[in-house]
Structure 1
Amino acid sequence: MTLQPSSIPDLSTTALYRDQNNTNGSDCPDLYDWEWLHTSQPVYILLITVLGIVFNVFVLIVFCFHKKACTVAEIYLSNLAAADLVLVSCLPFWAVYTSNGFHWTFGLFLCKVVNLGIKMNAYSSIYFLVLVSIDRYVALVHTMSHGRMRRPKYAKLGCLLMWGFGLVLSIPVLIFRQVRYFPEYGVNACFLDYPTHTVELFSDGMLIVFSFIIPISIISFCTVKIIQALKIQAIERFNAVKTERKATTLMLTVLLAFLICWVPFHVVTTLDLLLRAEVLGGCHLLSVIDICNQIFTYLAFFNSVLNPILYVLVGKNFRKKVCELFKQWSIRKIVTSESSRSSNLSSTLKTLV
């Protein structure tokens, strides 16, 4: 019997889960050859890691080193880039884990910390997008009061709270993530070891509510109101909010990309929870969910690479900042070079005298 995976962010294994909890899935035969996972998935994860680190570091450099202070929207987007950066930085451990046939060689501490990094930043990311949605909603729908509410210090405080909330949602990882040797597979697996099946279902159910249903509901409400406001402004030809419209276009694009990448994963995770709760059943559904968990996890990870690309393609203000930053560095380099040349000339003249 080969070890099969469940979703990568949880990094429980399907075979371990089916055997431990003795659910209706345990009587199902293994319909698929999972060897492709050990060969293709590590390559994909490493590619996502390299691209994600390079692109998100580039975004953070632009936001942090530009001479102008970040706007409220840029504060949220820079924190989103930071969350994506931490997430992709944790993935190489799972590339090694998968290529080793789900044999964890990094110890219990890294088993907990790496999963904490993946979970915390996945949860924080969606709440940074909630903050972005609320910011755009206030800027376009409640234009008269947005000056008081949309201040950088409040944006930074909001980001700090979202990091903390992401950590709170990830507490089950610190508590229940364990490394255990399974002699039937010959591996040390890093997996979620819940004390009871009830605790497992309750914990996963709460995470689905707070990491998917609630934030998606807020984002959907704000998006509908924003689109309505944009239509009204287009009819009335408001020119005073042109900058806000550009920022909103970028925000809507980033939101759409996030929904395309993450909603399928959350839907399959919800179906998997219903399957484990025995609300749903059937070997065919079990097999489909196992396969979809893998495919949609790949899609979700790709979002961490896609966001920086969207900033460049859609964000006119971001492209402007990139150009200004390069000019800023070029001028500084020229000044430094001329200063060094002047210093050398002065030293030469002193020597001659």
Structure 2
Amino acid sequence: MHLFVVAVEKLGVEESFVELRPFLFESHPEDHLIHLFTQVTRPVLISSKLNVFQKMNGMLSPSIFPINHSLSVPCEPGPQHISITILVCLLGLGGALLNSFSLWVFCFRMKTWSAGTILQFHLGLSDAMATPAIPLMATSFAMGSCWPFRQFVCQLKIALLGMHFYGSVVFLTLISVHRYVAVVRHKSNSAMKRVGFIHKVCGAVWLFLLVQGMSCFVFLGTSQVGNCTQCLNIHQGEYIDAYFAINFVLLFFAFLLPFSIAAVCYCRLASSVSRINANSAKGQAIKARSLKMVAVCLLIFAVCFAPLNVTRTVGVMIKKYYPEQCRLLLKVETTYYIAWILACANSCFDPLLYCFGSPDFNRAVRSSLKWLGHRFQEASSNNEQDSLELPTRTAHSITFLDKEAPSNTSK
């Protein structure tokens, strides 16, 4: 009996010995003791065998029993390089200044608007939609790729960026079609030449952009990934199906189709312009301006919007079908942010498009710069005159006080 008690204590199940006490005082306790000993020691033996197997499994080669650790470890975003934040701030500030000046010229320095001017003005409005969103993006990058604001601000940022990017693409396409009609089919009575029709088209475009922005506002938002709150990020696993569907819809209808239309229009335009008689000054001006406009528009599509759509498509496909490729996904994410910076540069290129596409805008810019220069000179001359008059006024006041002092003394 003593040996049995010692064995039970060695096995670490001494609390189960309480159950044995009623049987120790029976006349024939052997059968009961054997049965209970088996029940008590069986879990301990099984646990010991499992521990031995786990130790042996840890000593075996990984090639024999492969374990996919990437499936259990989530792919969390990391902070981006500081240069991305700096470039976002610089391009955002430059684009905001140029676009604000362009809108001011359209609204206050141009008296009459043609159909092409209306399209260019609405392109400037779509560029202005990104101005409130860029500081939010720069703040997020500076905070280590974490979203520090509320969900409403995130949803507003998503809606504004969508309206900006795809509004720019649509209005660039409409400008291409209008330029093609105005130059290649200048003798035809096309609706693209009528101001009223262009107003209706622009209204329909803004309605489409508003629906698209509100859809993203309602269905997308923030989520917690690791220790960070994310907004419009590839690492948001619960939104990957939505990102995947939205990406391919926008890839076709908001990039490939508009780019194809613009490319066809500008190829026909370049072919037609090359046959213009360049002997006259007017012919040379039309030819040069049209070719520059073609180059700038295709440059915007190729440099600003193509990398953004390509990297976003690659990113959502990796996240959906190859989520274990964490290192590759992080590299694609950084590339996507660089492409996003290039897309922000379209606000800097669009004023060149206005200058090449509209002689009236070009003249208004020159007159506006002259007017601003005159105002600056007048302001500086007034400041210099005030600075010269200040010592004279001070001297007069001192002389006046000196004259008043004796009179006060005499009194």
**What is the TM-score with the length of structure 2 in the denominator?**
0.63
AA paired with 2:254? S
In the other structure, the counterpart of 2:159 is 116
RMSD over aligned Cα atoms = 3.8
Name the CA distance, whole Å, in 2 between partners of 1:162 and 1:119: 13
Q: Residue 61 of structure 1 is aligned with which of 100, 104, 114?
A: 104
In the other structure, the counterpart of 1:156 is 199
Describe the SS at the equivalent of 2:130: helix
Alignment of 1:84-123 (within 5 A): 84-123=127-166
Deviates more, 1:41-50 or 1:113-122: 41-50
Name the CA distance, whole Å, in 1 between partners of 2:373 and 2:86: 37
Q: Residue 220 of structure 1 is aligned with which of 246, 263, 267?
A: 263
In the other structure, the counterpart of 1:256 is 298
Change (3 A) 1:323 1:143: same
**Offset at residue 216 of structure 1 (A):** 0.9
In the other structure, the counterpart of 1:303 is 346
Change (3 A) 1:331 1:169: same
Pick 1 or 2: higher relative contact order, CA cutoff 8 A, min separation 6.
1
**Offset at residue 294 of structure 1 (A):** 2.1
Is structure 2 residue 229 aligned with structure 1 residue 188? yes
Change (3 A) 1:316 1:253: farther
In the other structure, the counterpart of 1:7 is none
AA paired with 1:258? I
AA paired with 2:231? C
Is structure 2 residue 68 aligned with structure 1 residue 51? no
AA paired with 1:153? G
AA paired with 2:300? F
**Offset at residue 134 of structure 1 (A):** 0.5
Are the equivalent residues in 2 in contact too, given 1:53–1:89 (CA < 8 A)? no
Name the CA distance, whole Å, in 2 between partners of 1:156 and 1:194: 41
Describe the SS at the equivalent of 1:188: strand
Q: Deviations over 1:23-52 (max 9, x none)?
A: x9x659999995443x33222222222211
Are the equivalent residues in 2 in contact too, given 1:268–1:289 (CA < 8 A)? yes
Are the equivalent residues in 1 in contact too, given 2:92–2:131 (CA < 8 A)? yes
AA paired with 1:189? Q
Change (3 A) 1:28 1:131: farther
Name the CA distance, whole Å, in 2 between partners of 1:79 and 1:147: 20
Q: Percent identity?
A: 24
Describe the SS at the equivalent of 1:232: coil
Describe the SS at the equivalent of 1:189: strand
**Offset at residue 135 of structure 1 (A):** 0.3
AA paired with 1:101? G
**Offset at residue 197 of structure 1 (A):** 5.0
Change (3 A) 1:101 1:154: same
Is structure 2 residue 113 aligned with structure 1 residue 70? yes
Change (3 A) 1:238 1:166: farther
In the other structure, the counterpart of 1:132 is 175
Are the equivalent residues in 1 in contact too, given 2:293–2:357 (CA < 8 A)? no
Are the equivalent residues in 1 in contact too, given 2:308–2:339 (CA < 8 A)? yes
**Offset at residue 262 of structure 1 (A):** 1.6
Mind listing any 5+ residue stretches in structure 2 that lack a counterpart? Answer: 1-67, 377-411
Q: Deviations over 1:200-229 (max 9, x none)?
A: 422221121111111111111111111111
In the other structure, the counterpart of 1:41 is 84
Is structure 2 residue 209 aligned with structure 1 residue 166? yes
In the other structure, the counterpart of 2:45 is none
In the other structure, the counterpart of 1:289 is 332
Name the CA distance, whole Å, in 2 between partners of 1:256 and 1:178: 33
Change (3 A) 1:305 1:250: same
Deviates more, 1:110-119 or 1:96-105: 96-105
**Offset at residue 169 of structure 1 (A):** 3.1
In the other structure, the counterpart of 1:79 is 122
Change (3 A) 1:165 1:234: farther
**Offset at residue 287 of structure 1 (A):** 4.9
**Offset at residue 72 of structure 1 (A):** 2.0
Are the equivalent residues in 1 in contact too, given 2:129–2:163 (CA < 8 A)? no
Q: Which has the larger radius of gyration?
A: 2
Name the CA distance, whole Å, in 2 between partners of 1:44 and 1:332: 32
Are the equivalent residues in 1 in contact too, given 2:163–2:213 (CA < 8 A)? yes
**What is the TM-score with the length of structure 1 in the denominator?**
0.73
**Offset at residue 150 of structure 1 (A):** 0.4
**Offset at residue 158 of structure 1 (A):** 1.8
Change (3 A) 1:140 1:146: farther
Name the CA distance, whole Å, in 2 between partners of 1:215 and 1:320: 30
Describe the SS at the equivalent of 1:88: coil
